[in-house]
Amino acid sequence: MLNSLNLNNNKLGSEVGKALADALCKNSTLTSLELGQNKLVSEGGKALADALCKNITLTYLDIRNNSINFKLTSNNPNIKILQDRIHV
């Protein structure tokens, strides 16, 4: 059973970000996901935001250095999301 996944610094891009988000919607075991420095941009960020509305098991998400220009939030009060400061 996979509990933690570190994919930092892999230049995954927004399409892989969307695929990961789709998997996250269905996953019930992963508690920690590190996606820092992957060029997810806002398109991948939007997909992750949608996934966070459905996933209740994730407690740690690192999306720093991905050029996501909005703040991700979750209905899960136990999740810690690490993200770059958004400049308006």
- Asked if residue 88 belongs to a domain, the reply is no
Nearest Cα to 82, choosing from 23, 34, 17, 26? 34
Q: Residue 46's Cα: distance from chain center in Å? A: 9
In a domain, 61, yes or no: yes
Extract the tokens encoding 22: 């789709």
Give the number of domains in the chain: 1
Residue 29's CATH number? 3.80.10.10
Q: Which residue range(s) make up the domain with 38? A: 4-82
Contacts of 84 (CB under 8 A, 6+ apart): 64, 65, 66, 68
Give residue-wise pLDDT tens across range 12-71. Answer: 999 999 999 999 999 999 999 999 999 999 999 999 999 999 999 999 999 999 999 999
pTM of the model: 0.93
Question: How confident is the model over 39-48, as pLDDT tens digits?
Answer: 999 999 999 9
**69 domain residue, yes or no:** yes
34: helix, coil or strand?
A: strand
